[in-house]
Amino acid sequence: MVMSPVVNTYPLSSYTFGTKEPKMEKDTSVADRLARMKVNYMKEGMRTSVEAILLVQEHNHPHILLLQIGNTFCKLPGGRLKPGENEIEGLKRKLTSKLGANSPALVPDWQIGECVAIWWRPNFETIMYPYCPPHITKPKECKKLFLVHLSEKEYFAVPKNLKLLAVPLFELYDNVQKLNVEQRYGPVISTIPQQLSRFQFNMITT
């Protein structure tokens, strides 16, 4: 029998949450974001982005930490890599920028684990696919999702204009087909429960 990879998850109460200066979004709308992506594509080629799946547990069930912008839109912490930047080091840089404290002594020791999903953006549109369509020879973005193994205790500094939510896997999975929730989380986040189903969660209580 093939053993499933084990992921240790610690209680949400094990972690400390503080705040730091606001981190403003570069774009005020989806149209602005796609326009900026097009400009960057002309200069640098395909956009490569990395995002982190940070797991905690509440009530003996895995929860994913998501950043909430405003009252509706949620996203995984991460972002665009610099041209030629290593994926692991780039994700660590992005995580520190999004959730690391201003004091280097308090920045988590990010343990980047497995890549659990790869998504492709064929055109300058919002839709992404978990494969690159065969007729697309020049995709506009490749996004990789990595599982990040958290230590038992960490300090997260959340920008004042954002919220950090712990969302249970069942909420993502149960609501995939509800349009209002689909729009809130999007297909990339909503399908994380399926991508994590091959892992065995070790719920550690402290």
pTM above 0.85, yes or no: yes
pLDDT digits (tens, 9 = 90+) for 169-180: 999 887 655 555
CB proximity list for 141: less than 8 A, separation 6 or greater: 37, 46, 47, 48, 49, 120, 121, 128
Per CATH, which fold does 6-198 belong to? Nucleoside Triphosphate Pyrophosphohydrolase (3.90.79)
Q: Tell me the pLDDT of the chain averaged across its residues.
A: 90
Q: What is the C-alpha to C-alpha distance for residues 149 and 80, in angstroms, rounded to an integer?
A: 21
What are 8's two structure tokens? 């240790």
């969660």: which residue's tokens? Answer: 201
Whether 101 shows a pLDDT value over 80: the answer reads: yes
Percent of the chain with pLDDT over 70: 94
pLDDT for the residue 4: 80
The phi, psi pair for 63, rounded to 5°, reads -125, 145
Res. 183 pLDDT band, cuts 50 70 90: low
pLDDT digits (tens, 9 = 90+) for 111-124: 999 999 999 999 99
pLDDT digits (tens, 9 = 90+) for 4-20: 899 999 999 999 999 99
Percent of the chain with pLDDT over 90: 75
Res. 67 pLDDT band, cuts 50 70 90: very high
Check the CA dihedral 20-26-28-33 and report its sign: negative
Q: What is the C-alpha to C-alpha distance for residues 101 and 139, in angstroms, rounded to an integer?
A: 35
Q: Where are the domains of the chain?
A: 6-198
pLDDT for the residue 181: 46
